[in-house]
Every structure is written in structure tokens, then in C-alpha cells.
Copies of this chain bind each other. A is one copy, B any other.
Amino acid sequence: MKLNTLAKRDRSGRGGANLRQIATELGVSMMTVSRGLRGSPEVSAVTRERILAAAERLKYRPNRVVSAFKTGRTGLVGVMVRPSKLYRCDLIEGIHDTLVAAGSLPVMHFSRTGGEAAPDAAELGCLHRLLDQRVDGIVFWPSDETVPNHYLEEVWKRGVPLVAVDRPLPHTRADFSGTDDVAGGRIAAEHLLSLGHRRLAILCGEPWVSTYADRRQGFVEAVTAHNATAACEKAGDDAVVCEQIECRNEAAIDESRELLSGRERPTAVFAVSDVLAAHVYEAAAALTLSVGVDVSVLGYADIPEAGLLRPSLSTVRQDFQEIGRNAARLLLDRIEGRNTADRARSIRITPTLVARQSTSAPNHH
């Protein structure tokens, strides 16, 4: 009781004035002040000036809490991310920038699994907390773990728009902002092929991760397409071979070590993620193979560490900041009623190749 009283905040003082105080000061009604401050055309220029001046003088700041109460718009957007994904801060930066430009702010919520018993309870809790704050919308970054969609159903029912980033949510009407990973896989293949590599390998990552699967698909498609063309042209045995290796991160070093030990070892390896590529570096080092000389290695994503590796890692860059901006734009279109379509909208950006030291023309041994 006492503690509560102590902790209670003084709403009245706070150094800043409220509408009523400005109104009293100027001898006008609160409504006029409200209109004046929001730039309504209904108020005369002189009055507006007086109001603005008084607001400045009294250090008035609009109370978005009350405004939210009245208008139903809080100016807050929930951003829900698994902390394991947090290294991609540029995505959050992109979301932030677009939101701020529209007068909103992101509320962060990192979702952890709720222990072994309830692996998804945490995610539900996060959603509830965001919903309780009456956020205008939610950006959700799904992780590898499967997401139970009935949680999202509740968001939908409450009429709060939701956008998925990085990887789409299947069976949901949520909009999506991410990368065209099939194109990314194609770009990877084309880079290696154009360098002259004919014996390729791809480290596919976990097969159930949809983004990885897409990259693989694009890569394999491009190789197949190349073979079709090449066969026509040169009639023959110049066909590109492409070994596909499914493995999770932990097994990557061993797998790629085995891959690179064979006599007919590939001259270039495409790893579907930069982390995977780093593991290929390890394997190559153990076999005293020089990355970028004896074997080309190509990553995917362009994580900050990519440029710091030695040799620096060639990779397919995803512009996460742009993905974030797109996510925010999709969301704002919903929030501000510009997009009322039932169908989910989806924006995928095409990644770009960043050629660094780890890829070069094959060294015919």
C-alpha cells in the first residue's frame, strides 16, 4: 500500500502541461487546442499560432497513451524474434527506420522456448503481452522450430495485422517479407559456373528449413539448366556434376572433410549459410587445402563475420535492412488501411553476389 503510493507517478506535474492548461492559458476550449495542435484546417491561422506558441512555452507534449485510448492506434508495433536470430540487427534497424518515418516505434520481444515441457508457451506469452499493449501490428520472425499457427489465429481474430519476415509462415494469411532464395541459389550456381567450376558440391543444411530448401532448389536448377545448354553446345562429357550433402551445422565439418578428401573432390563448394561455409574453412584447413585456391567456397547471407574471415568469404548477400523496411511497409499498409485484401501479400528481394577471396577459377590439379 505504502510502497504502491510511493511508486505511483505524478501524472499531473511531470514538467509538461496538458491540453487543459494550454486551453486555460489561452482562454479557449480544449477542443480548439486539440485541433490546433494536430493542424486541423478548422482552426484559424492566428489561433493556431497562439496555440503552438503556448504549447512550446509550456513544454506541452502530446500524450500518446490517451490518444491511443481514443483513436485505437498506439503507434507501437510489436517485433517478435527468437534471440538466436538477434545477430541480424540490421533487420530490426530496417523495421525501425520505416516505422519511425510513419510515426510509430517498435516494441521488442524476444521469445524463448518455454523449457522442454512447453516449447511454445513462451511464444504465446509474448504475443499476449504485445496484444495487451495494444500494438497496432506485429512483425514476427519465425525460427527453425515449427510454429503452432493457432497462436497466430488469436492475433488474426483480434484484427491485429501480422507480417512474417525471413521465412514465410505456412497456412497463414500473414504477409511476408524475405529473400527470393531460389534466385539466390541460382545466383550462387551461376557465379561458380562462370568461374569455370565443373565439379560442384552443395551443403544443404537442414532439409526442413524452407529457406535452405529454396536455395538448394535454385542452385540445382541452375546447374541442370547449364548442363542442358552445355550439352547442346559441346555435346558432351563436359557436364557439371553437383554433389548434394544434407547436414546440420554440427556435422558440417566432418561432412565437408569427407567431401574434400576424395580424389574427385569438388573444386567449389556452395554452403547454404555463411556459418556452414566457415565450417568448410575448418575442414579445408585440416586437409591443408587453401580456400580460394585449391577449393572455392561460397556462403550465403553475408553475415558481418564474412568479410573478416581469411580468406574473406564470397557470399550471396541478403539485404536484411531492406527486408526489414519491406516488412514494416507491408504492416503499415495494413494498419493504415491501404491494404485490406484477404490474400497475403509477399515481397521477396533478390540477393546479390559479393565476390571476395574465397572463390576463384578452379585450379586444375
Contact = CB atoms under 8 A, between A and B. Distances in A.
B83 A74 contact: no
What bracket does the count of chain A residues touching chain B fall in?
Answer: 35 or more
A64 B336 CA distance: 22
A87 B304 contact: yes
Secondary structure type dominating chain A contacts: mixed
Contacts of A309: 308, 310
A72 B63 CA distance: 11
A110 interface: yes
Contact of A107 (B65, B86, B107, B158): B107
A310 B290 CA distance: 14
A69 interface: yes
Contacts of A130: 105
Contacts of A335: 7
Interface string A134-156: 10100000000000000000100
Interface string A1-39: 001001111110111100000000000000000000000
Contact of A93 (B14, B86, B107): B86
Nearest to A334: B7
Interface of A: 3, 6-11, 13-16, 59, 61-66, 68-69, 71-76, 79, 83, 86-87, 89-90, 92-93, 96-97, 100, 105-110, 128-134, 136, 154, 157-159, 278, 304-305, 308-310, 335-337, 340
